[in-house]
Structure formats: C-alpha cells, structure tokens
Structure 1
Amino acid sequence: MAIESIVVSDLSRKPGATTVSFGLGGTWYEVDLSPEEQESLEDALEPYVKVGRKAGATPVKRRVVPETTPEERERIREWARKNGYEFAERGRIPKKVMKAYDEAHDIDRNK
C-alpha cells in the first residue's frame, strides 16, 4: 500500500503547494503556497528585495592593533606612568593611553 501526501495552500486550500520561508521583523515564517500565490508574494516583495541586502552572520569586528615595536611599547608605558596613567604591567596598552601618547608626540598611526 502506498501513501501519498498532498500539500495544500494555506491561503486557498489548492493542492500542489510548496512551503515558502520568509523573514520579517526578526521572525521567520513558513507558509504553504500554490505556484501562483508564491509568484504573487515574490512580486509584492520585489521592490524591497531590489534595494535590500542579504542578511548573513553578524559582521566580525576587526581588532585594530597599532603597529609598534616592543621598544616603542615600553616607551609608551614609561611615558604613561610618568603622566599618571594606571594600567596593567602586561598586556594590551589601553586605547586612551595610546591616544594620549600619540597626541603628545604628534604621531598619526592612521597613515
């Protein structure tokens, strides 16, 4: 004995529908539509699809690390301590310290 499944449209109850997925407002929906209904939905969304952009994974923020030598980092730490900045002995030099050092020494690292 064979079992046959027939998918019917959620709108018109016509047989031969297929499942269509779409997202709106951060929520994903699925609806079973006939070929004509699917075409109607695509036509209605076309102006938005033309000007929209595909959503994907959240863009990865690139960490920007100024190019410095170990000797320069030591000079920055020494200058910062003499100028009242407190931060860890090891690890990354805080951005505010780097910015202050660069401003005091007229350095532009964005070149």
Structure 2
Amino acid sequence: MSDFVHDTLYSGGGVAGDLLNVLLLLPLAGAVVVTTRRVLPAVALAFLLPLTIEAVQTQIPGRYCSLSDLAANTGGALLGVLLGYVWLRRLGHRVPAGSGPNTLEQLTRR
C-alpha cells in the first residue's frame, strides 16, 4: 500500500493520480447542487475552482500547471454536478419535510 501512495504522490500519479483528480471536486460540486438546489453556481465552481488550483500551483516551487489535471478536476466536478442534480430529482418525488406527522403523538393519534 505504501508503494501505491508513494507512486501516486511523487511520480506524477499515473492512472491513480488521474482518478484522484477526478474524485477531488466531485463531492464538493455535488454538495453545492444539493444544498443550494441550483445547478449554475455548481457549474461555475466546476470550471473556476480547478482553474484557480492550477494557477496557484504555478506559484509554488516544485509544482507545475497540468492540463490533464485541469481536465480531470473539471470533469470530476461536472460529474458531481450531474450526480447532485440526479439526487435532487429523486428527492423531488418524496413527500416534503414537515408535511407528515412530526411527533410520536401525531403518529399514534387516531
């Protein structure tokens, strides 16, 4: 396991690094869609945050900007937006919170 971690962190990552780049922003973008119930801010985040991350890396000694990292981060974030949207659509078919009995007394009342 330590070889996997070392290779991922210090050798450019390869396939594992690409997968980690895809997964990096996926949960954040999905959470933005679910919490705000809006897709557009999450799409903006999906494009701007990876661009910012790569731009900042140009200012850190020993780091460099990578087009493949940018594409993987953006793709992962857009996948998160899609999954968040699908999640919201599925939740839309449920009974809204507060529309049913909220206490044990209300549940058992006849």
* Alignment TM class, shorter chain as reference: under 0.3
TM-score (norm 1): 0.24
Structure number with higher relative contact order (C-alpha < 8 Å, ≥ 6 residues apart): 2
Which is richer in strand?
A: 1
Which is richer in helix?
A: 2
Name the larger-Rg structure. 1
